A and B are shown apart, each in its own frame.
Chain A
Amino acid sequence: MDNNVKSYRKPYVRPVKANWWTDRSFYIKYMLREGTSVFGLIVALEFLLFIVAILLNPIQGAYFITNFFANPIVILVNVIALISVMYHTYTWFNLMPLVVRMFKSKEPTDTKLIPAKLMVIALWFAWVIACVVIGLVLAFIR
């Protein structure tokens, strides 16, 4: 098409505000979900710290860890982290079924997918089992 065509267009592009995510509760929840991953990071760093401490010196390391956890600020941070990570888990468990699209059977006429709810329940079930196993292992170590 000719480039010398006159156009009367003057499209208006709306500016993107920095606080766009406060417009809808859905976006706020999304930002919260993403924000909770920061606490996931903190927990991971804690673990890393412990491992390094134990590897450097098992006795002093264990002493350090015990002291570290006695600190009220650390306790507070870990309580918040627990809640955050639980929320993160909750949101991810709700989203997980979307990535799995499975039919109830292999019959060519079966058009019913395994319902998302069932998968969410299965995930929480697996979570509970994992918690119990870890708890038992820890109890055994002591």
Chain B
Amino acid sequence: MQANARHQKHALATFVGLLPLIIFLALLLYVGLNAPNFLTFMNLKLVLAQSLPVVLAVIGLSAVVMAGGDDVVSGGIDLSIPATAVLCAGIVAVITTAGLSLVLAAGAALVACMLVGGINALLVTLLRMTPLLTTLAMFVAVVGINNVITSRRRLDLTSDAIASLRQDFAFGLPLGIIIVGILVLISYHLLHRTKWGLNLQAAGGSRDAAEISGIRVNTLVAQSYLLAAFMGFVTGFFILARGNGYSPGTEDNLMLEMVLANFLGAAFSPRRVVTMWGAVLGAVLVAAISIGLKTIGVNVFWTDLIKGALIVTVVALSAISERVR
């Protein structure tokens, strides 16, 4: 009897854990049935192409969450990634528009982005500040700095190398998708297959246990913020490629989609924890939903409301699933 009850409880927990995915797939199915051309190869390519910046950002975010633990309030989170990404985009746009070399621009952007990551790491590990607030404050500050650098102006792209991320093809596939695919594989290996990656997950799973077994948690957490900043740097180039230049304000939507993708991705893992793989799939699903809702003509503000509500639902369901367990 008791075993049966436990079994039922387990089944319930599994069901609740899978609910976000079920909701998403139901939404997609609804869109697919109602929108012409939604379930086509071309649209799949479109979904992938539009998801690239979010995919790159969630690689960084999932690493931070893995190292710091996935409690939304006290665990690891880095909301500054979208700001780091636009900082990179802004710096590269300003320097290349001034006629200087792309290499110099990329170098300057890399230094600036890693500085942001370094400050995040110091504040979170040394001063023990809450990552949620620290990185939110950092987001605001970095967007502010970027507004000073770019004077909040639109800057058109002058670099063909960056444009090739959008328009060139290799082996019949868009170059941008291939490059991001390779980065996903490398990150997957790094985060899920190396000793460093396993230590990172151990640190986030249980900080105390990890410390007792000799893992230097603070170092790992700090490294995760640096990795996140680096991914922000990479994201910047894809933002430039996608927008054919720098447009102010890109960070807001990226933030919303990044957070949604990351926590939605937890539903993909058997233990309902944030994984890089799950987060990347989450990013693709979020892009599919965004495109799908627009394809069936849902008002843009409703789209935002739906995305916000989905974040709440996903996080709430994961909390409920945890409790049931």
The answer on A and B forming one complex is no
